[in-house]
Structure 1
Amino acid sequence: MTPPSVGSRLVGIGTAVPDTTYTQRELLGLLAVTDSRIRSVFLNSAIEQRGLTLPEPAADGFPIVESQGQLLRKHTEKGLELGRGAIEGCLKDAGAQLSDVRYLCCVTSTGFLTPGFSALLIKSLGIDVTCSRLDVVGMGCNAGLNALNAVDGWARAHPGELALLVCVEVCSAAYVFDGTMRTSVVNSLFGDGAAAVAVTTAGVGEGVPCAPTLLRFSSRIIPEASEAMRYDWDDRQGKFSFWLDPQIPYVVGAHAAGALERLLHGTGLLPSDIAHWIVHSGGKKVVDSVRVNLGLTRHDVRHTTGVLRDHGNLSSGSFLFSYQRLAAEGRVRRGDVGVLMTMGPGSTIEMALTRW
């Protein structure tokens, strides 16, 4: 397969997580969880620790109940902090400066802001006020690849200019603590974090010996599972609450092969030609279901499971954390082909094909 004549490439990556990290057992204590079923969900999640922004317990030892307003302020303040950290790390990795940024796309699903993170980060970091921008809000865990598709299109239309994709997810700003299994599944899984990737058609500079080119994207929506992942208003709690259907791992897995077939159609490539897999760290059951249905090995998803173990599900930015680990590993060879894969509400599977 011949790469596009003017393809955009991923030339820098940066991530950021909170300073406050909790093991699953520490969280069970902090949340005063005694229900054996809920404890089992936490302790069998394949997650060891997560970065979260949580209030200290009240005097009675129980968690403080944050209002929707408090959660939104946390989303804004912590999101800006994490977003800045990810951008600064990304630009350093790319050998670029803030003055080089000509397009900023921000993704989030853990809060609603107007103006959005793109405007707030431009102001906070002092990025040029003529920088073009886009905010992708509310798409969920799959949104990183939806947005990367848009960023890739902008980079191709503006040869040589630098674009940034930034995924900012303060998942602890979307937590509800009510002791139910519904909220406990969510509370056992997600972590706070931000990830940024630099995209350009320009030549790769020193320090970036092997940057992947984005070749094509594909999407597959599963309409019959549109209600399986929802972030909607809970009248009882007076705040937004996330819902995950227990069957969603198997639904996603069952449609993974069809999504891959669509991605590879017309390329002459076979699934066996894929050297690197960057899969969203959606949860142990989701990753296992995708792995089985695509015939992947545990080694193929080592970075996916490693990110899940160390950070939990970081929503839209999870796949970029895995990509950063692959880049740091130093095993990629020029000419290798890779697949980026995210899954989320819709229900949706997104994929991108890359070549180093």
Structure 2
Amino acid sequence: MTTTVARPGGGISPARLEPEPKHRVNPSRIIGVGTAVTEDSYSQRALLDLFRITDPKVRSVFLNSAIERRYLTPPPRDTEGAFLQESQKDLLAKHKRLALDMGARAVRKCLAAAGIELADIDYLCCVTTTGFLTPGLSALLIRDMGIGAGCSRVDVVGMGCNAGLNALNATAAWSVAHPGQVAVLLCAEACSAAYVMDSTMRTAVVNSLFGDGAAAIALLADPPDTAGLALGELPEGHIGSSAGPRLLGFSSLLIPDAIDAMRYDWDDDQHKFSFYLDPDIPYVVGAHAERVVDRLLAGAGLRRSDIAHWLVHSGGKKVIDAVRVNLGLSRHDLRHTSGVLRDYGNLSSGSFLFSYERLLQERLAREGDFGVLMTMGPGSTIETALVQW
């Protein structure tokens, strides 16, 4: 099929019209978010006193972390009030207990925010790095929460702090491939189950940073016959009527030279896993942030100045500062990221969703606004996503 179009300067020329697609594919959109933490929170100074840490260098690491409080579940104590050592078996049991409890509460809050029920969940993706379970967290939650046994599921284990966006990419793809069906992503990190207690600065840095938390997000791609309809025009009873942002694209960057900069090692003395953070990782992440963000935005014909909302993983004060400086952002741009770090510490894979929840509570996002989600973690990897309200 051909038609004619005007040539620049006059005249006409033939142009071929591509046949219109039978169905327009709708992007996945976020229809709800919910978060949960463990029962008790502690100031950094209180943790130092509880664990009887007197080394001035370790105390300085804790007190200069830009963290005020974290939710943690300390080990049991002996008769004199000192914390007992937990074996790797004890830590795995703690991870299972905390992840299931926080995870279930986060999912329920997410569903309430979306105005949907457990029976509406068609796909469940669970992310965790702080413990290993077989069967995975997804199967245990489906059983314990009473989610339909026919719910599709997947578990993402061991990817680290970046994994929330890795999983969001896959979950959004499932959502687009199954329009009208609800997909839920859960990040459940019981960081209290991943600690090693010794006198080294290596563990002091890790122990000063991480906290317990879970975050769930619900996605929906509208059926093709709703393409172009405003939310108020959707059919009565349509699932997910909240005006959440659409997921427009993802971009990743693996930094092979820093593949060992964040990792788990087996500690033969402690008989448990020990997490390692290279002191230079904030600068490595900062130096590569422009490359992956600009690639993400170029795909949509955007510049950094077009982005109204930045939701970055709360990896630590130095990480946040490195990203801010290298991307030319203001402290206000990263207020939610810094606020989550201050109030919760580093929550690993779910940190960026705590920031997203805070942005929603501000009620500042407007129709048409663009936002960038950004996480970083072992690999070393930077993950990004572009959203639009």
Could you state the TM-score of these two structures normalised by the residue count of structure 1? 0.97
Amino acid across the alignment from 2:87:
S
Q: 1:30, CA displacement in angstroms? A: 1.2
Counterpart residue number, 2:291: 258
1:259-310 Cα deviation digits (max 9, x unpaired)? 1111112321001000000000000000000000000100000000000000
Of 69, 72, 81, 2:89 maps to: 69
1:10–1:35 CA distance, 2 compared to 1 (3 A): same
Of 10, 26, 30, 2:46 maps to: 26
Counterpart residue number, 2:308: 275
Please provide the CA RMSD for this pair. 1.3
Q: 1:60, CA displacement in angstroms? A: 4.0
Counterpart residue number, 1:234: 267
Query: Where do 4+ consecutive residues of structure 1 move more than 6 Å?
Result: none
Q: Distance in 2 between matches of 1:19 and 1:38?
A: 26
Amino acid across the alignment from 2:147:
I
Of 125, 128, 147, 1:108 maps to: 128
Of 51, 54, 65, 2:71 maps to: 51
Q: Distance in 2 between matches of 1:81 and 1:321?
A: 17
Counterpart residue number, 1:331: 364
Could you state the TM-score of these two structures normalised by the residue count of structure 2? 0.89
Q: Distance in 2 between matches of 1:294 and 1:59?
A: 52
Q: Distance in 1 between matches of 2:81 and 2:256?
A: 43
**Contact 1:32/1:61, CA 8 A, preserved across alignment:** no
Amino acid across the alignment from 1:332:
A
1:15-39 Cα deviation digits (max 9, x unpaired)? 0001111110110011111000000
Counterpart residue number, 1:154: 174
Q: 1:232, CA displacement in angstroms? A: 2.1
Amino acid across the alignment from 1:103:
Y
Counterpart residue number, 1:201: 221
1:5–1:335 CA distance, 2 compared to 1 (3 A): farther
Counterpart residue number, 1:89: 109
Question: Between Structure 1 and Structure 2, whose CA radius of gyration is higher?
Answer: 2
Counterpart residue number, 2:8: none
Asked if 1:175 corresponds to 2:195, the answer is yes
Asked if 1:99 corresponds to 2:132, the answer is no
Pairs aligned (count): 353
**Contact 1:10/1:198, CA 8 A, preserved across alignment:** yes
1:207–1:265 CA distance, 2 compared to 1 (3 A): closer
Asked if 1:311 corresponds to 2:344, the answer is yes
Q: Which runs of 5+ in 1 are unaligned?
A: none
Q: Which runs of 5+ in 2 are unaligned?
A: 1-23, 232-237
